Amino acid sequence: MITTHASGALKKIIPLFDRVLVERFAPALKTKGGLHIPEKALGKVLNATVVAVGKGIRQKDGTYVSVSVQPGDKVLLPEYGGTKVELEEKEYFIFKEADILAKLEH
Amino acid sequence: MITTHASGALKKIIPLFDRVLVERFAPALKTKGGLHIPEKALGKVLNATVVAVGKGIRQKDGTYVSVSVQPGDKVLLPEYGGTKVELEEKEYFIFKEADILAKLEH
Amino acid sequence: MITTHASGALKKIIPLFDRVLVERFAPALKTKGGLHIPEKALGKVLNATVVAVGKGIRQKDGTYVSVSVQPGDKVLLPEYGGTKVELEEKEYFIFKEADILAKLEH
Amino acid sequence: MITTHASGALKKIIPLFDRVLVERFAPALKTKGGLHIPEKALGKVLNATVVAVGKGIRQKDGTYVSVSVQPGDKVLLPEYGGTKVELEEKEYFIFKEADILAKLEH
Amino acid sequence: MITTHASGALKKIIPLFDRVLVERFAPALKTKGGLHIPEKALGKVLNATVVAVGKGIRQKDGTYVSVSVQPGDKVLLPEYGGTKVELEEKEYFIFKEADILAKLEH
Amino acid sequence: MITTHASGALKKIIPLFDRVLVERFAPALKTKGGLHIPEKALGKVLNATVVAVGKGIRQKDGTYVSVSVQPGDKVLLPEYGGTKVELEEKEYFIFKEADILAKLEH
Amino acid sequence: MITTHASGALKKIIPLFDRVLVERFAPALKTKGGLHIPEKALGKVLNATVVAVGKGIRQKDGTYVSVSVQPGDKVLLPEYGGTKVELEEKEYFIFKEADILAKLEH
């Protein structure tokens, strides 16, 4: 879950079902020659950090199948398909779990 | 459920199945510098309060899987996809539960 | 079921399966200031009275899951999606139950 | 089933599965003032008599769920969606049962 | 199955699954006045004879649900949807069983 | 499976799931008068020989339902829908089994 | 999984569900006459090496059906349908397993 830091308007965004809330990050990648690759050279994916996740896909018996990412995970997302959410000057995106292409690990 | 306040025409709107009736609200967000963000800067979501909910998704055995929001919940909805309903000078929207992006909590 | 009143041509329209036959009504809403809202200001829904309903959705075992509205119910329907039926100078619409947005109660 | 009356070319058309063969009729409706409503004023439905029906929807175990109309039934059909069949100077239409909007009863 | 008659190139076409191989015929229909109806007046169906049928729809357990027509059956097919196959100067069409509108019987 | 004959680059193409690898052939059909029918007169199908087949459709329990054609089978395929694969100067096509219209037998 | 070699930014891309991460290769094919076929003559497939695979398709009971390729496998992919991912100057693609046309073996 995300808690915004502005006093008096503290809020959490809790995604529903199998949705995840992510925040984009600019990957600090370097080329072999040490040059920084500008973001637009990074191709058709969105590098993002998972901020909050929903309960998962609701089954017919009322239970949920949990999503397979957690807050803090670094993920790759397609350039299109999410919904932009702005909250206190920061921009977030909500995607369905099934749209997450991959996790990034160190 | 919503009960309108005009005498003589009091009405409740009871959404069917997994639909929810919501009323938009203008989020009173402030920037760190104290400036108010105009609504159109808020991006592609609709901030809304749930006013009434349907019984849920009807199963083949006649039972219902309840919706996961309740009247009073603050939710984020996509800009498109709902149906506008006007009742006694107020504007409401009806969405399917599955279209709700997230709940907002304090 | 609807029985039309012209002698000699009395007919009942019995919707099939999960269809409902509705008749539009002009909601006699008043604004707080007492002004009548013209119909076109009412937005993108159709205010209608259920006139007849089908048996419901047929299951694989031959039984039916009844529809959740009854003749006499006031309902909200989307502006598009139904089929217009004219019978003895009156105009009706046939919708699938799943298209009904909400019931209106007093 | 329909048997055409021309000698030497007698044929029956037996619809397959959940299809029905119908023959359009011009509803002899009268307005309250006694005027005949021309057919094009009747809106977007097709008044038809069921002439023959298929065995129904085939289940995985090889059995069939019978269709819910019978030869002789008067039905309302959408203006589009059927296939026109001409046989011995008469025009018929084949529709799927699920496209039948309603039965008409006296 | 169809066996073509040209010596040295005898071939059978065995449709796969729920497909049927048909050969069109020109229905020798007569009007009541004895006039022959030209083919293009016959509307939007294809009069055809079933030449060969596939094994049917394959079930998950590996068995097949047989198709409901047999070689020799006269059928009505929609004007569009099949695939034209030419073999030894004759033109055939392959349709899925579910596209067959009706059987014609004498 | 197909093994190409160029030394040093021998390769097998193993289709996945219910895909089949086929190689087109020009059917040496003769008209009754002995004339060869040019290929473009053969209509909208592709005459092909199955070269390799996949394991079949994977079931939920991890087993496979085998495809119903084998390497060496002559098949009819629709003109469109496959993917062209070139390997060592020869052109192959990959289709899904469900796209195969018919088998050809002698 | 793929581990990039730039120190300080070592990362693994772990595809989610039934996705696979592949790296394109230029197939060193020779014609019989010894000429190299330029890549654009290779038709509408993508020759690629599987670099990492997801856990597979998640079942309702929470288990996974493993994908049928492994890192190191040579595969044929359709020209379109994948998502391009760039990581440390190298270009990768993410496809769903079901899009893989075939495996290539030696």
Q: Give the span between the Cα atoms of E48 and E104, in whole angstroms.
A: 10
**G78-103 burial code (b ≥16 CB/10 A, e <16):** eeeebbebbbbeeebbbbbbebbbbb
Inter-residue contact C21 to C13 (CB < 8 Å): yes
CA dihedral F36, F40, F43, F48 (to 10 degrees): 80
Using pLDDT thresholds of 50, 70 and 90, give the confidence band for residue D87: confident
**By mean pLDDT, which of E56-65, F71-80, G1-10 is the weakest?**
G1-10
- pLDDT tier at D28, thresholds 50, 70, 90: low
Q: What is the dihedral of CA B21, B24, B30, B36, to 10 degrees?
A: 170
Q: How confident is the model at residue E51 (pLDDT cuts 50, 70, 90)?
A: very high
For residue range A44-72, list pLDDT tens digits in order: 678 999 999 999 998 887 789 999 999 99
Residue D11 pLDDT exceeds 70: no
Predicted local confidence at residue B44, as pLDDT: 65
Say what the pLDDT of residue A27 is.
60
Top-confidence residue, A27 or A52: A52
Partners of residue G83 in chain A, C-beta under 8 Å: 44-45, 78, 101
Structure tokens at D43: 């809106």
| Spatial distance between the Cα atoms of D84 and D97, rounded to a whole number of angstroms | 15
CA dist C58 → A6, A33, C18, D71 (Å): 54, 68, 8, 20
Tell me, yes or no, if B26 comes closer than 8 A to chain A by beta carbon: no
Sign, CA torsion D66/D72/D78/D79: positive
Residues of D in contact with C84 (CB under 8 A): 43-45
For residues E48 and E21, give the distance between their C-alpha atoms in angstroms, rounded to a whole number.
Answer: 10
DSSP single-letter state for residue G30: B
One-character DSSP codes across E53-72 = E---EEPTTS-EE--S--TT
The C-alpha angle D79, D84, D87, rounded to 5 degrees, equals 140
Query: F64: which residues sit within 8 A by CB, 6+ positions away?
Result: F55, F56, F57, F58
Structure confidence at residue G6 (pLDDT): 40
B65-71 contacts at long range (C-beta below 8 A, 24 or more positions apart): B65/A58, B65/A60, B65/A62, B67/B18, B67/B20, B67/B97, B68/A16, B68/A17, B68/A55, B68/A58, B68/B97, B69/A16, B69/B20, B69/B97, B69/B100, B69/B103, B71/B1
**Mean pLDDT confidence for C9-24:** 85
pLDDT of residue C34: 45
Which H helix or E strand runs over D76? strand D74-78
d(CA G92, CA G48): 9
The single residue listed with the structure tokens 């219910």 is F18
Which residue is associated with the tokens 């192959």?
Answer: F92
Residue B35 at interface with chain A, using a CB cutoff of 8 Å: no
- The DSSP code for G17 is T
Judged by a CB distance cut-off of 8 A, whether residue A9 touches chain B is: yes
Strands (E), C40-89: 45-53, 57-58, 64-65, 74-78, 83-87
The CA–CA distances, whole Å, from A21 to A96, B48, E97 equal: 9, 18, 47
What pLDDT, on a 0 to 100 scale, did the predictor assign at position B41?
A: 39
Q: What is the pLDDT of residues E68-97, one digit of tens each?
A: 999 999 999 988 888 988 877 788 999 999
In chain B the domains, ranked by start, together with CATH numbers, are 2-104 (2.30.33.40)
Least confident of B16-20, C41-45, E8-12, G38-42: G38-42
Residue A40 near residue A64 (C-beta atoms within 8 A): no
pLDDT tens-digit profile of A76-100? 998 888 898 887 778 899 999 999 9
Q: Which of C12, C62, C89 sits opposite D31 (nearest CB)?
A: C89
For residue A84 the two structure tokens come to: 């932009």
Cβ neighbors of F9 (< 8 A, separation 6 or more) are F88, G28, G29, G30
pLDDT of residue G55: 94
The predicted pLDDT at position D61 comes to: 79
Whether the per-residue pLDDT at F102 is higher than 60: the answer is yes
Contact indicator for C60, C36 with CB cutoff of 8 Å: no
pLDDT at G1: 43
- pLDDT tens, position by position, E4-43: 444 444 468 999 999 999 999 876 554 445 444 444 433 4
Instruction: Reply yes or no on whether the pLDDT at D21 is more than 80.
Output: yes
- Check CB contact of G60 with chain A, cutoff 8 Å: yes
Buried b (16+ CB within 10 A) or exposed e, B72-88: ebbbbbeeeebbebbbb
CB contact under 8 A, G84 and A45: yes
Q: Give tens-digit pLDDT for B43-60.
A: 467 899 999 999 999 888
In the structure encoding, which two tokens stand for residue F75, read together? 């098949």
**How big is chain E by its Cα radius of gyration, in Å?**
15
d(CA E68, CA E24): 19
Distance CA B89, CA C39 (A): 12
pLDDT at C102 over 90: yes
Residues 6 or more apart whose CB falls under 8 angstroms from that of C6 comprise C88, D29, D30, D32
For residue B56, the model assigns a pLDDT of: 94
Contact D37 C6 (CB under 8 A): no
Identify the residue with better confidence: E42 or C105: C105
For residue F37, list chain E residues with Cβ-Cβ distance below 8 A: 86, 89
> Among candidates C52, C83, C87, which has minimal Cα distance to D44?
C83
Query: Pick the residue with more confidence: B9 or E22?
Result: E22
Q: How far apart are CA D57 and CA G11, in angstroms?
A: 55
For residue C5, what pLDDT is reported? 44
What are the angstrom distances between the C-alpha of B77 and each of B20, B96, D18, G103? 11, 10, 41, 44
Choose between F89 and C39: higher pLDDT: F89
A40 in helix, strand or coil? helix
> What is the CA angle G42-G43-G47, rounded to 5?
60
Taking the Cβ of residue B84 and every Cβ of chain C, the question of whether any pair is shorter than 8 Å is answered with: yes
| Residue pLDDT tens, chain G, 106 long | 444 444 444 468 999 999 999 999 876 554 445 444 444 433 467 899 999 999 999 888 778 999 999 999 999 998 888 898 887 778 899 999 999 999 998 7
* Nearest CB neighbour to A6, from listed B30, B41, B44: B30
Instruction: Tell me the pLDDT tens digit for each residue of F35-67.
Output: 444 444 334 678 999 999 999 998 887 789 999
Residues E13, E50: contact at Cβ < 8 Å? Answer: no
Q: Does B98 touch chain C (CB under 8 A)?
A: no
* Beta carbons of G83 and A68 less than 8 Å apart: no
List of E strands, chain A:
2-3, 12-15, 19-24, 45-53, 57-58, 64-65, 74-78, 83-87, 90-96, 102-105
What's residue B106's pLDDT?
Answer: 72
Which residues of chain B form beta strands (DSSP E)? 2-3, 12-15, 19-24, 45-53, 57-58, 64-65, 74-78, 83-87, 90-96, 102-105
Enumerate neighbours of E (3 or more CB pairs within 8 A).
D, F
What residues does G96 pair with on adjacent strands?
A: G19
